[in-house]
Structure 1
């Protein structure tokens, strides 16, 4: 099981049922948790608790999530902000990201999806907080650039390592070829999307995933790994 000891998360949502669900799940994972039910309290808790991650609802009475996000970014502190929204609208996503949010999750969402996004933010912004991370039969160690599968160290090229790591960390989430290209190869990659298929095929060979049970293909959508 992954250890998140020392990682602090502030939950900001005015719905007690949502807060209780998230707080229980995140505490069970080992995170340190504080809760705020409105924007003003969120800013006060942030100043005293100094969280690494703020999970922030958009629709709240008084100061909404957008205003809280803007205020948090104005402090200059290194905080990862994941916004929660009940609206799957492009405008909300663009506004949140423009104001400085790092990611967003649309309600209703699964806990495993949120956890994957939390780990991704920690990897990007606070890599020193995590060492070896376990996902099902996989062990990831960024410090050694090593992935262990079924207790065997995998022989991977740097790109294979980055791709498999990205898929594992986003397990349960459908990843399109274009999204994979952006995140693994980079926005300025000038090649064809088919390069993703080539590397997926190589990873499946190394994982002995002949029936595509580990890395699933969703026709017309992309790829998904299901570990939880």
Structure 2
């Protein structure tokens, strides 16, 4: 899962990023409203954590302009402002939830899970597709009595396929979702990890395939 943090307090932003990394999320950080809006408009994020008091554009403006641009990414407003009018303003501008500083990391993670669950892009701990099972908690891929462990990147790519099976996913989307918006990863990285995943599907004797679609990307397909 890819999360954007828009927070001008660099120490807090770095702490937030570390919390998310420990939970195996990918996170990008920007420090002002202009960058927050630009990054948010890319549409690659599963969630945006958005402060209100930001340079150039405040969080209310960023949320409003994202919604005006038809960006439906869940927005969690994180701010020191805790009055009812501030909360109402944030929600009216398009935010989905609201947390005040200071916060407990456990509550932050719970809110993130709740918001992304509403979006319908969270893969459950136990997922079955075609003839295989995938446990997102242990990163175990299995069919019958055969199982194999996926490394972090392999698991993130499989989660992306499972979030929209039968849909063609481009290499560019895989890079931004799995490696990050500013990563220097390229097509060769994607091809290598797709190859690893295919070998592991073969290892468990799965007939489900990751099909290459010429000049477009890849698609997860059940065997019939």
TM-score tier after normalising by the smaller chain length: 0.5 to 0.7
Measure, in 1, the Cα distance between the counterparts of 2:90 and 2:42. Answer: 24
Who is 1:123 aligned against? 117
Measure, in 1, the Cα distance between the counterparts of 2:41 and 2:98. Answer: 22
Compute the RMSD of aligned alpha carbons: 1.6
Question: 1:122–1:130: 8 Å Cα contact kept in structure 2?
Answer: no
Residue 132 in 1 paired to residue 132 in 2? no
Measure, in 2, the Cα distance between the counterparts of 1:109 and 1:92. Answer: 17
Measure, in 1, the Cα distance between the counterparts of 2:69 and 2:24. Answer: 27
Count residues with an aligned counterpart: 127
Question: 2:41–2:66: 8 Å Cα contact kept in structure 1?
Answer: no
Q: How does 1:38-117 map to 2 (within 5 A)?
A: 38-48=32-42, 50-117=44-111
Measure, in 2, the Cα distance between the counterparts of 1:75 and 1:32. Answer: 24
Q: How does 1:2-41 map to 2 (within 5 A)?
A: 7-41=1-35
Question: 2:79–2:99: 8 Å Cα contact kept in structure 1?
Answer: yes
Measure, in 1, the Cα distance between the counterparts of 2:95 and 2:114. Answer: 14
Q: TM-score, normalised by structure 1?
A: 0.53
The CA deviation at 1:101 is: 0.5
The CA deviation at 1:49 is: 6.2
Q: What SS does the corresponding residue of 1:105 show, helix, strand or coil?
A: strand
Q: 1:36-80: per-residue Cα shift (whole Å, max 9, x none)? A: 100111122223462110000001122100000001111112200
Q: What SS does the corresponding residue of 2:41 show, helix, strand or coil?
A: helix
Any gaps of 5 or more consecutive residues in structure 2? 127-134, 136-224
Q: What SS does the corresponding residue of 2:4 show, helix, strand or coil?
A: strand
Q: TM-score, normalised by structure 2?
A: 0.54
Question: 1:57–1:83: 8 Å Cα contact kept in structure 2?
Answer: yes
Q: What SS does the corresponding residue of 1:35 show, helix, strand or coil?
A: strand
